[in-house]
Amino acid sequence: MHAGRAVGSGGAVTATAPRRTGAVAPGHGNGMPAPRRAAIAARTLRTDRWWIQPLLVVLALVLFTIYATFRAFQNAHYFSEPYISPFYSPCITTACEGSSFPELFTGPSWISPALYVLIFPLGIRATCYYYRKAYYRSFWLSPPACAVAEPHKRYTGETRLPLLGQNIHRYALYAALVINVILFYDAVLAFRDETGAWGHMGLGTLILLANAVLLFLYSVSCHSCRHIVGGRLNNFSRHPLRYKAWMQVSRLNGRHMQLAWASLLSVVLTDVYVFLLATDTINDLRFF
């Protein structure tokens, strides 16, 4: 018998057969089982609690969206010398609290400065390969989990608008890398005290720094970044530096999901810390 090809007692070829061997015909993209596949009425034969993961993803993303939307439109309590919330960085209008970044134009004070820049982090997260998998499964149930049938009748993948727009991901990554540099700049500015004197450090400094590092690792572990670093090469031995860089990025890429969640959480925690300082709810813990 051909490796990977299993024949049941009735002579039926099962789905374990490799593709393009003729043993398993592809489906028609209409949600129905492929010809010659076993017709199983049950939605899934899985007996584990496969629904927990999509449920957690829905909860986490809904909570994050509510919080981020509220903070972005709040237009207040995002700066406490020398710290700025990542939701508002870079703050580029004359309406900004503090002066952590050059003011590029005069914006109406009723428009939150966060709204000019949040498109960039939103762009990379929304088109991220990991988040796509997460929200296609959790929100669209397409499919909700491995070996669980989806409810949709048709499947067109990302071949049509609006999902065709996911192809901008590489450009979203370029923009995110620029934001990463600015967040490191914010972390450097955080080595000042509340009077603006250099050579000081507080808990906020560490929080801004950790947030910048996590967001940078999230960007560098990106699948597009991996392709930019090591893709389109026919021969790694002629490009030893790119090979080494590709190996490092590949290592991080294996942790991309964890970095996606860790960096999302760190953005929220950093913003909460700045909010608590800005509203005089707590005082910054100063180390020196």
Is 239 a residue that touches ligand FES (CB under 6 A)?
A: no
Give per-residue burial for 164-186: e unless 16+ CB within 10 Å, then b. eeeeebeebbebbbebbebbbeb
Q: How far is the CB of 220 from ligand FES (least distance, A)?
A: 9
Q: How far is the CB of 129 from ligand FES (least distance, A)?
A: 4
CA dihedral 118, 120, 121, 122 (to 10 degrees): 70
Let me know: does 115 contact 109? Beta carbons within 8 Å.
Answer: no
Is 223 a residue that touches ligand FES (CB under 6 A)?
A: yes
Segment near ligand FES (CB under 6 A), from 112-120, 179-187, 202-210, 222-230? 222-230
Tell me the CA distances in angstroms from 286 to 184, 200, 205, 268, one per residue in order: 20, 8, 9, 21
Toward ligand FES, which CB reaches closer, 223 or 239?
A: 223
For the window 77-116, what string marks contact with ligand FES as x by the rule CB under 6 A? ----------------------------------------
Task: Please give the full DSSP string across 23-55, using - where no structure is assigned.
Answer: SS----SSSSPPTTS----SSB---S-TTHHHH
Amino acid letter, residue 193: D
DSSP conformational letter for 283: -
Is 173 a residue that touches ligand FES (CB under 6 A)?
A: yes
Task: Name the residue among 135, 164, 149 with its Cα closest to residue 30.
Answer: 149
Interface positions, 187-206, toward ligand FES (CB under 6 A)? none
Toward ligand FES, which CB reaches closer, 112 or 224?
A: 224
Interface positions, 126-165, toward ligand FES (CB under 6 A)? 128-130
Q: Is 83 helix (H, G, I), strand (E, B) or coil?
A: strand
* Cis bond before residue 143 (omega within 30° of 0): yes
Q: Which of 222, 249, 264, 274 binds ligand FES (CB under 6 A)?
A: 222
Q: Which of 124, 212, 274, 278 binds ligand FES (CB under 6 A)?
A: 124
Toward ligand FES, which CB reaches closer, 83 or 218?
A: 218
For the window 15-34, what string marks contact with ligand FES as x by the rule CB under 6 A? --------------------
Q: Give the span between the Cα atoms of 15 and 265, in whole angstroms.
A: 40
Is 117 a residue that touches ligand FES (CB under 6 A)?
A: no
Q: Which of 85, 211, 224, 270 binds ligand FES (CB under 6 A)?
A: 224
Task: Name the residue among 161, 191, 165, 1 with its Cα closest to residue 82.
Answer: 191
How far out from the chain centre does Cα 225 lie? 13
Interface positions, 240-279, toward ligand FES (CB under 6 A)? 256
Q: How far is the CB of 160 from ligand FES (least distance, A)?
A: 21
| Residues contributing to the site for ligand FES (CB under 6 A) | 124, 128-130, 169, 173, 222-224, 256
